[in-house]
Structure 1
Amino acid sequence: MSSTIILPSTNLLGKDCLEKALDIIQQQGFTKALIVTDAVLNQIGLVAEVTKQLEDRQISFEIYDGTQPNPTIDNVTQGLESLVNHDCDLIISIGGGSPHDCAKGIALVATNGGHISDYEGINKATEAPFPLIAINTTAGTASEMTMFSVITDEERHIKMAIVDQKVTPLISVNDPNLMLAMPSSLTAATGMDALTHAIEAYVSVAANPITDTVALKAISLISQYLPICVNDGNNLEAREQMAYAQFMAGMAFNNALLGYVHAMAHQLGATYHLPHGVCNAVLLPHVQRFNASTNPEKFADIATAMGRDISGLSPEAASLLAIEAMEELSAKVGIPATLSELGVCANDIDKLSVNTLEDVCCLTNPRQATKQEIAMIFTAAM
């Protein structure tokens, strides 16, 4: 089976790389940017760190900061209006997954026309997107470098997964200086999202030697550095290592895709507006317990990457250690243990299960499930 490796053409990582990114924008002749972000990042002054440097380079800008934590169709529509009305020639997303996903939606519709829901599914766009530079402030979603955009359709109560090479940003920026402001709860949630990306990609049926290599390294780094970042948010070295880890996890799932953890978490996010990373963290061990029998050797690798000693154990026994390590890391960084604690209602499990099986992320899960089996996993996570 052939493999395709998709990435932005330029990826800047490491402390102070923001300046280099803005130099590139200036060199390429862009004159006016639409900044897509959220109100909190604007209020705490993080956006100003970028806009000041734009001003220094005589690049004007307009700010759209209406992005919701689970960006909506309405957010894309409003951002697109702002792009057109202010005659911008570039989009800059600043934030975590939500602003990046919103900006990707705007960029796609700006050049392809129609409505964002027209692009739900895989590779529906025909034109390259509007130029987009994604400046990341969280170590988790990897949306700054992937071909995924998840937009909430509030009327249908679903999250639309848009998987399209054409939503890949031109440039991704991971400067850990911009991640120091992340509160510990967000650090934990986004870090567990990155761990989920790496694990789902590693056990995916579409995995290849490249995705396997970066996924395992990401799992190892996250296991080591996420607790440090949660306990000491100003540890720049740990933040930088998490920035690399989430980027590698993004490389892995952007090319090997995901599985049932994400398919199920998308339904919880659409129904209850819960934080995506928290949903992933709660579901992760339950889904992998379901998957483990398909390839216990791979789960033994995960156990080793998470710091477990598997010497003398069968792959089946080692795979149980991997699942135990997932649960322990989640607890260590303060994630609730059950869906009940998040307010999920048992009466909704049937509908959640039906919608899960319609999610594109199901396709590459290593073990295919019936609706009843998905419902059993939801129930186990309650």
Structure 2
Amino acid sequence: MEDYAVLRMPQTINYGRHAFEKVGEESATKGKKALIISDKVMDDLGNVSDCRNFLSKESVDSTVYLGVESEPTDIYVREALEIFKKEQCDIVISLGGGSCIDTAKAIAVLATNGGYIGDYMGSKKLADADPVPHIAIPTTGGTGSEATDATVITNTSKDVKMMIKQPTFMPAIAIVDPLLSLSSPQHVTAATGVDALSHAIESYISKQSHPMTDMFALSAMKFITGNIMSAYKDGENIDAREAMALGSLQAGIAFTNASVCLVHGMSRPIGALFHVPHGYSNAMLLPAVLEFSKEASINRLADLGRIFSLEASDYTNEDAANLAVSSVKELCLKLNIPNLRGWGIDKQDFDSAASKMSEDALASGSPANNPRIPTQMEIEELYHICYSYEFTTESHVR
């Protein structure tokens, strides 16, 4: 840890069952007309209509953009920003998964700072003007994006996921209502749950971690490991859903301040080139990357092992760290997380892209936070390992 540390999070967090109903009241303190960024699934479920009704009761007008269909792209950002300006909105509300939230973050910043969203990558352009107020409402227990100051937008002309991180991308308000996650299908619950776990783990083992992020990361790991299987097996288990929502929120706070590591660095190029949703690609990579990183993070991974099993309290740190890695593998197996081959990615195409992906992963900066910092060649080798990785007790990584 450096001499001092910073902890950033939304100005206000509304958390718990029926927190969604507060969106009108919160919006009324920020503006008069909202652009709701959501998707067709949320619209079909009636959540978009409910949101507009909550706003209307507080005399807040609204319009809607439902164009988010996959991982967020610069096309979605351009389309939604045009609506925002045309309709003279002064608030942005995201209602959905991480793709909706990340798109809304871009709109909130561009509406007052201008330019192309890619201009802000690597802080080449700084968002000096205050963003439009953004109220983030997640509907999955996984991304934690409602509590982060980063957005990941795909540059569609270059097939590159742009990871953009500046304080102005932080939502002003987060509304985390576990009731909204009851609609998540089983496979989404699995992928976003492991995504949230990867956020917690990576923020805990990150070279940028500090005591405040450790507090959130450890709590998140306990909530997630203790409840993910219950939420997966019974999507109507509101207690498990609530615990997952809280764990995801805490993991989001942890990783936006401590940063992520190698898993996320490798995950983004897979999403950009092969259109694998972010939660899945993180889950596919997590066990192998933990194997790769283990020797450089024995003590920290030992803490995770002892969270997975009370019996590990008497283990040596090395044995507890081994348990952490094997437990993550077992969890992915039970959640039916596929490897890249099982996802349907052609091996020849994947092998051909491995060099570019490893270059892009290293350039993102995230691998530099990993306890064991990889070379580009090691990242490329990890891609090849992960393509057909089996979630068994057998070790695949040296």
| Aligned residue pair count | 380
The structure 2 residue matched to 1:149, chosen from 151, 154, 157, is 151
Shift of 1:69: 1.6
1:131 alignment counterpart: 133
Kept after mapping to 2: 8 A contact 1:68/1:75: no
Structure 1: how far apart are the matches of 2:91 and 2:219? 34
Structure 2: how far apart are the matches of 1:140 and 1:124? 28
SS in 1 for 2:336: coil
Shift of 1:295: 2.3
2:393 alignment counterpart: none
1:271 alignment counterpart: 273
Structure 1: how far apart are the matches of 2:241 and 2:173? 20
Kept after mapping to 2: 8 A contact 1:161/1:360: no
The structure 2 residue matched to 1:177, chosen from 175, 179, 182, is 179
**1:357 matched to 2:374:** no
Shift of 1:343: 2.9
Q: Deviations over 1:257-315 (max 9, x none)?
A: 00010010101000011111111111101111111111201111011112263244332
1:325 alignment counterpart: 327
Structure 2: how far apart are the matches of 1:379 and 1:207? 29
Structure 2: how far apart are the matches of 1:371 and 1:121? 20
Structure 2: how far apart are the matches of 1:270 and 1:12? 33
**1:164 matched to 2:166:** yes
Shift of 1:102: 0.3
1:377 alignment counterpart: 382
The structure 2 residue matched to 1:3, chosen from 2, 5, 23, is 5
- Runs of 4+ that moved beyond 3 A: none
SS in 2 for 1:357: helix
Range 247-256 or range 40-49, more displaced: 40-49
Q: Percent identity?
A: 38
SS in 1 for 2:312: coil
**1:315 matched to 2:317:** yes
The structure 1 residue matched to 2:351, chosen from 346, 355, 374, is 346
Shift of 1:367: 1.4
Kept after mapping to 2: 8 A contact 1:217/1:305: no
Kept after mapping to 2: 8 A contact 1:121/1:360: no
Distance 1:334 1:49, change over 3 A: farther
TM-score (norm 1): 0.96
Structure 1: how far apart are the matches of 2:174 and 2:30? 18
Structure 2: how far apart are the matches of 1:333 and 1:312? 28
1:14 alignment counterpart: 16
Kept after mapping to 2: 8 A contact 1:308/1:321: no
For 1:354, give the aligned amino acid: E
Structure 2: how far apart are the matches of 1:311 and 1:138? 32
Distance 1:244 1:311, change over 3 A: closer
Kept after mapping to 1: 8 A contact 2:147/2:174: yes
Structure 1: how far apart are the matches of 2:30 and 2:328? 46
**1:110 matched to 2:99:** no
Structure 2: how far apart are the matches of 1:284 and 1:308? 23
Where does the alignment leave 5 or more consecutive residues of structure 1 unmatched?
none
2:295 alignment counterpart: 293
Shift of 1:169: 0.7
Kept after mapping to 2: 8 A contact 1:139/1:190: yes
Q: Deviations over 1:152-176 (max 9, x none)?
A: 0111111000101001011000011
Distance 1:311 1:44, change over 3 A: closer
Equivalent residues in 2 for 1:1-150, closer than 5 Å: 1=2, 2-26=4-28, 28=29, 30-122=31-123, 124-150=126-152
SS in 1 for 2:34: strand
Distance 1:180 1:312, change over 3 A: closer
TM-score (norm 2): 0.93
1:255 alignment counterpart: 257
Aligned CA RMSD, in angstroms, stands at 1.4
Structure 2: how far apart are the matches of 1:359 and 1:233? 35
Shift of 1:346: 2.6
Where does the alignment leave 5 or more consecutive residues of structure 2 unmatched?
388-398
